[in-house]
Amino acid sequence: MIGNDRPLYIVLISVHGLIRGNNLELGRDPDTGGQTLYVVELARALAARDDVQRVDLFTRLVDDPGVSPDYARPVEDLGDGARIVRIEAGPPGYLPKEALWDELDAFSDNMLGFLREDDLLPSLIHSHYADAGYVGTRLSAQLGVPLVHTGHSLGRVKRRRLLASGISQRVIDERYNIDRRIHAEEDTLAAASLVVTSTTQEIEEQYGLYDHYQPERMSVIPPGTDLKRFHPPTGDEQKAPIKRELERFLKHPKRPIILALSRPDERKNIAALIEAYGASPELRQAANLVIVAGNRDDIRDLDNGPQQVLTDILLLIDSHDLYGQVAYPKHHSADEVPVLYQIAAASRGVFINPALTEPFGLTLIEAAASGLPIVATEDGGPIDIIKHCHNGILIDPLDRQDITKALLKVISDASGWRRMAKNGLAGVKRHYAWAAHAESYIEAITPLLETVEPPPRAPLSRRPMLYHDRAIFTDLDQNLLGDPDSLADFIRIVRENRKCSSFGIATGRRLDSALAIMRRYGIPRPDVLITALGTEIYYAPQLTYDYAWSRHIDYLWHPRRVREALTDLPGIERQPNTEQSRYKVSFYIDPAHAPSLEEISSILHQADLSVHLNLSFGQFLDAVPVRASKGLALRYVADQWGIPLEHCLAAGGSGADEDMMRGNTLAVVVANRHHEELSQLTDTESIYFAERPYAAGILEAIAHYRFFDACQVPTTPAPDPESEPESASAPGA
């Protein structure tokens, strides 16, 4: 028990790549690197502790004939209370992380559905990488639990590197969705109670590039390594099939081995290593070079990046005539990785990581745990690893002579080799064992758990809702107004189906303004009225206010500071007090003179303010709490009433409505609301763009989705909610 005496249940999220409990396909592609191994090992290490009851690692379910059926199993047991839980999101096939952004809302909705179905409330959520950060931010807001985040790599760093390589901003955005990634990272940093990093340099030089840079919320906890898998040679490695595979490349297989193990990625700088080796007769005479760069059947079938790297490797081997001195196997399994280190250690060789940049360097501590000295780039993680373990030499990865000199020094100095090997074993055990990592992790998260309160969940006692298995939520103004005839038809359809369907209005207006416009146009009072951009919720029949929702969203909300940060900006003017509310700060905005929405968001982040910004119709700018939005309020109500999101029809049309329509809800944009703010949704399959305007467009969507066809009408007529006594309770009342 920790914190508030609830059993510690930790949820990890790592959306992309291929994740399973054994024989991980490391290096298969850019999405199957060290992160996939790290999250599996972290789940096991935390679950092994007595003070942790359960750990679930959530990832995307992949049902694709091109990959193992393992990735289509909904749940995989890892032992000791740890599981991999695979969540459906988007098409079933394997997708690169850059193509997953439009599927993350569905991932969030389905993951929350899994937690609700099993009646699970996490103690905390730990997201890994930007896509999981997006999911974790939403779920943390919905569940009211702390968010911990690990970036693994960062979009601003990647964009700088790509720009420096000569790739244009336009190509970067199209190929890598880099703007969406950076925006998600900023929002995640704003919401996270703790950011876990591998090195101090990562905090200062990488996260320091972000507007929401808060080093006081960041903690260095280096990854661990499995000392049962990675250990010094025992002699068994000499009989391993991978050793015979290496020997078929080499004229003198008994020479020391220089081992390089990485993905075929240009940043790993393998070409420079081959150039250094090929240009040094002394090094070629002293040692063999073994390059293990992912798995391949035919280089021509690989993506452009890996294809180019491997082609360059082969051309350099040929150029320097290194046949018989360099081994470059086509295949290796995850279980053979420890054996490769042991083979190199038994040969009195060295492990080298010549990467141009290295956030941590998991392979370095694996090599150290195997009794193998290391030579590594003087960037990022290797600096800390060699400082702690005293088991190798740092190099300038752009200086081939520096690479050669370091390799020769390790291989030629027998006493120095033994000292570094011994130091590495001791240093890894002290600093990089998983048990030590888990201990530091629990110490770091314990303060976050002291103030955790369960999210607002109060059962609804009004009997009519027992029969309601679906709901319609619509914006008010231009969705329902503008065409009296179609509005009358819509009201009739809603009333005809009220025995099985709830009706909700979600508007940016305040309550008094919304009621006045509804009265003027004869719109009946809905079952739920969500006002002020999702910051207030009222229930029929007596407009009962949901205080639990207000308490939930009153998190990191500082309206005075928001007003101060935005009031003096050009092109921005505060709206009158009649448009302000406790949880909504509203402005008029003139896009011709005002900063962009991205710049405004940056200003707020730099002021350490976490808010949801809403731009509507290009002229209204509203800031609300980070836990509030129309979409989050809709999900809260649906959750309270037990209505699946797949049975919720959301009608909207401005930027403030976007998160109502993303994810698992059925969604419609009526013809008169095809606003440019929602242009990015036109390719989203789950959103219907109606041909008719106003309420007629909603009716068109009802027909399109056959929304009422499966209504389960009770055999005994349900009471009219407007006849319910005033004492009827509502969620959170």
Q: Which pLDDT value is given to residue 616?
A: 83
Q: In what order do the strands lie in the sheet with 544-545?
A: 544-545, 536-539, 528-531, 501-506, 470-474, 648-652, 666-669, 687-689
Mean per-residue pLDDT over the chain, rounded: 90
CB 719 within 8 A of CB 699: no
Place 317 in a pLDDT band, splitting at 50, 70 and 90.
very high
Q: How far apart are CA 630 and CA 550, in angstroms?
A: 14
Q: Is residue 597 part of a domain?
A: yes
CA-nearest of 561, 535, 531, 508 to 625 is: 535
Q: Which residue type sits at 81?
A: G
Q: How many helices and strands (H and E) does the chain possess?
A: 26, 26
| Residues paired with residue 473 on neighbouring β-strands, in sequence order | 504, 650
Domains of the chain: total: 4
Same domain, yes or no, for 262 and 120?
Answer: no
State pTM to two decimals: 0.83
Q: What is the CATH number of the domain that holds 637?
A: 3.40.50.1000
Q: Which pLDDT value is given to residue 6?
A: 63
Backbone angles phi, psi at 15, to 5 degrees: -75, -50
Same domain, yes or no, for 394 and 255?
Answer: yes
Beta 648-652 vs 620-625: how paired, if at all?
unpaired
All residues at 6 or more sequence positions from 86 whose CB lies less than 8 Å from its CB, including other chains: 58, 59, 60, 61, 62, 71, 72, 73, 74, 75, 76
Q: Which residue type sits at 504?
A: G
Q: How far apart are CA 435 and CA 262, in angstroms?
A: 26
Q: What is the CATH number of the domain that holds 295?
A: 3.40.50.2000
Q: Which residue has the higher pLDDT, 28 or 583?
A: 583
Q: Tell me the two tokens of residue 417.
A: 């080799």
Buried b (16+ CB within 10 A) or exposed e, 433-446: bbebbbebbbebbe
Q: Is residue 455 part of a domain?
A: no
Q: How far apart are CA 236 and CA 87, in angstroms?
A: 40
The number of angstroms, rounded, from the C-alpha of 217 to the middle of its chain's C-alpha atoms is 18
Q: Which pLDDT value is given to residue 1?
A: 43
Q: Which residue type sits at 519?
A: R
Reduce the DSSP state of residue 334 to 3 states and report it: helix
CB 187 within 8 A of CB 137: yes
Same domain, yes or no, for 621 and 498?
Answer: no
Beta 54-60 vs 82-87: how paired, if at all?
parallel
CA dihedral 388, 389, 393, 396 (to 10 degrees): -40
Q: What does the chain come to in residues?
A: 733
Q: Is residue 105 part of a domain?
A: yes
Q: Which residue type sits at 205?
A: E
Same domain, yes or no, for 395 and 314?
Answer: yes
Boundary-marking domain end, from 609, 626, 643? 626
Q: How far apart are CA 651 and CA 654, in angstroms?
A: 10
Exposure of 51 in the CB half-sphere (CA atoms within 13 A): 13
Q: How far apart are CA 154 and CA 147, in angstroms?
A: 18
Which of 15-24, 480-489, 603-612, 709-718 shows the lowest per-residue confidence on average (mean pLDDT)? 709-718
Q: What is the CATH number of the domain that holds 602?
A: 3.90.1070.10
Q: Is residue 732 part of a domain?
A: yes
Same domain, yes or no, for 24 and 151?
Answer: yes
- Region 621-636: mean pLDDT is 95
Same domain, yes or no, for 407 and 533?
Answer: no
Q: Which pLDDT value is given to residue 167?
A: 84
Q: Is residue 3 part of a domain?
A: no
* Residue 723 predicted with pLDDT over 50: no
* Residue 608 predicted with pLDDT over 60: yes
Boundary-marking domain end, from 449, 478, 504? 449
Q: How far apart are CA 679 and CA 465, in angstroms?
A: 35
Same domain, yes or no, for 150 and 47?
Answer: yes
Q: How far apart are CA 455 and CA 474, in angstroms?
A: 25
Same domain, yes or no, for 197 and 84?
Answer: yes
Which of 53-67, 470-484, 650-664 shows the lowest per-residue confidence on average (mean pLDDT)? 650-664
Is residue 252 classed exposed, middle or buried when 0-12, 13-18 and 19+ CB atoms within 10 A define those classes? exposed
Q: Is residue 681 part of a domain?
A: yes
Percent of the chain with pLDDT over 90: 71
CA-nearest of 236, 222, 302, 311 to 270 is: 311
Same domain, yes or no, for 243 and 147?
Answer: no
All residues at 6 or more sequence positions from 105 whose CB lies less than 8 Å from its CB, including other chains: 138, 659, 662, 663, 664
* Residue 541 predicted with pLDDT over 60: yes
Same domain, yes or no, for 365 and 496?
Answer: no
Same domain, yes or no, for 202 and 240?
Answer: no
Q: Is residue 4 part of a domain?
A: no
Q: How far apart are CA 409 and CA 258, in angstroms?
A: 12
The number of angstroms, rounded, from the C-alpha of 720 to the middle of its chain's C-alpha atoms is 44
Exposure of 558 in the CB half-sphere (CA atoms within 13 A): 12
Q: Which residue type sits at 131?
A: D
Place 676 in a pLDDT band, splitting at 50, 70 and 90.
low
Q: Which residue has the higher pLDDT, 3 or 215?
A: 215
| Residues paired with residue 625 on neighbouring β-strands, in sequence order | 611
All residues at 6 or more sequence positions from 643 whose CB lies less than 8 Å from its CB, including other chains: 468, 469, 470, 471, 502
Q: Which pLDDT value is given to residue 478?
A: 78
Same domain, yes or no, for 592 and 496?
Answer: no
The boundaries of the domain holding residue 368 are 236-431
Reduce the DSSP state of residue 114 to 3 states and report it: helix
* Residue 281 predicted with pLDDT over 90: yes
CB 634 within 8 A of CB 665: yes
* Residue 722 predicted with pLDDT over 50: no
| Residues paired with residue 128 on neighbouring β-strands, in sequence order | 150
Which of 200-214, 412-426, 516-530 shows the lowest per-residue confidence on average (mean pLDDT)? 200-214
CB 566 within 8 A of CB 572: yes
All residues at 6 or more sequence positions from 587 whose CB lies less than 8 Å from its CB, including other chains: 566, 572, 573, 574, 575, 620, 621, 622
Percent of the chain with pLDDT over 70: 92
Boundary-marking domain end, from 449, 482, 517? 449
